[in-house]
Amino acid sequence: MPESYQGRRRKAKGGDFRMDPEWRTLDFATITDVESELMTERPTLQDVYEARRRIAPYVVRTPLHRYLSLDELLEAEVYVKHENHQRLGAFKVRGGVNLLSQMSDEDKSRGVISASTGNHGQSIAYAGSLFGAKAIIAVPEGANPGKVDAIRGLGAQVLFHGHAYEDSRKHAERLGKKEGYRYIDAANEPMLIAGVATYSLEIVEELPDVDVIIVPVGGGSGACGACIVSKAVNPSIQVIGVQAEKAPAAYRSWKEGRIVEAPMETSAEGLATRMGYELAQDILGQLLDDFVLVSEDGMDQAVVLHLEKTHNLMEHAGAASLAAAVKIKERLRGKKVVLVASGGNISLTHLRDVLDQTPT
């Protein structure tokens, strides 16, 4: 495990700021006092237990299934945590419900605003409808139309802005300040992380002797939750994050111990972030055991493998854990492995593209 994130922050404060045509790295000395304070608000296992109680009426306990066909493929004992079976088709709903269930009446009356490539936006829209908060979701131009329709169907207003998630996020943050909405970040929200961590609590309860949990990483809330739960319950459980090679900002931030902005060219909407996030990187830097990058082809193949081996439809982010497991197969041999299937909301366009490339 790398040196602690806070330790690497201190080393970075000597002014080691660099910028080149491909990577932009922000020295931690530039982080605001508010962001620094936020990084101390790490959720605890107790927060996760409390979150489970709050969200229980609104979410489902998703299945953890073992697949003998994946056992044979990976030469390990392989389970899939099916967050693609969750309400709204993705794990994010757990976080949105937990966060808005604790929001003050004042904040709810102001309305909430957030940005999303789809699944997080559905989560906030759904939670807003449950707890009486007007929700506005900024999405990139060209966002998954099925997810956009779902956000609208849940009662939220959708604003299209920019070509990438980061453009939408900055727009939502500006509007929140201008109009007085309560801005909800997709990663820097302790109670959002506590909510999504409840699926990891279900994993360790059902499979207490699990050796490895592989988790897709976009902003990092799901991986943070897995780390918080696993390391509190059994520190020997390895948590491995997986991100797209074509959107490696969280990976680079974790490796370098600083917030990195990097190119974002992946088709995996749930992994399509352009920078690391402070609270998530604080947690991952101290608790994540390893981080793997996977190719676009690897995720395409994993979508097909899920159809063939588990008979489940996954979006690319949801299939990324299987793509990572195939890539590091030698390290997993003989172990009990859980692959987090974070979501199944693949667009018809992406599904057709994957199937068209698959040999018959």
- 3 pLDDT exceeds 50? no
State the pLDDT at residue 360: 66
State the pLDDT at residue 177: 96
> In which order are the strands placed within the sheet that holds 24-26?
18-19, 24-26, 259-261
- 37 pLDDT exceeds 90? no
Q: What is the mean pLDDT of residues 336-356?
A: 95
Domains delineated in the chain: 45-90+191-356 (3.40.50.1100), 93-188 (3.40.50.1100)
- 9 pLDDT exceeds 60? no
Provide, rounded to the nearest whole percent, the portion of the chain with pLDDT above 70.
89
- Provide the 3-class DSSP secondary structure of residue 221: helix
Rounded CA gap, 123 and 94, in Å? 8
- CB neighbour class for 108 (10 Å; exposed up to 12, middle 13-18, buried from 19): middle
56-104 residue pLDDT tens: 999 999 999 999 999 999 999 999 999 999 999 999 999 999 999 999 9
Return the minimum-mean-pLDDT range out of 7-16, 154-163, 189-198, 219-228.
7-16
Contact 333, 71 (CB under 8 A): no
The length of the chain in residues reads 360
State the pLDDT at residue 19: 27
Rounded CA gap, 292 and 290, in Å? 7
Q: Which tokens hold the place of 65? A: 């299934």
160-184 residue pLDDT tens: 999 989 999 999 999 999 999 999 9
Contact 322, 63 (CB under 8 A): no
Contact 119, 88 (CB under 8 A): yes
Residue 234: CB atoms within 10 Å: 13
- Provide the 3-class DSSP secondary structure of residue 289: coil
Return the minimum-mean-pLDDT range out of 7-16, 293-302, 338-347.
7-16
State the pLDDT at residue 27: 36
Beta strands in the chain (DSSP E): 18-19, 24-26, 64-66, 77-82, 112-115, 135-139, 157-160, 182-184, 212-216, 238-244, 259-261, 290-294, 336-341
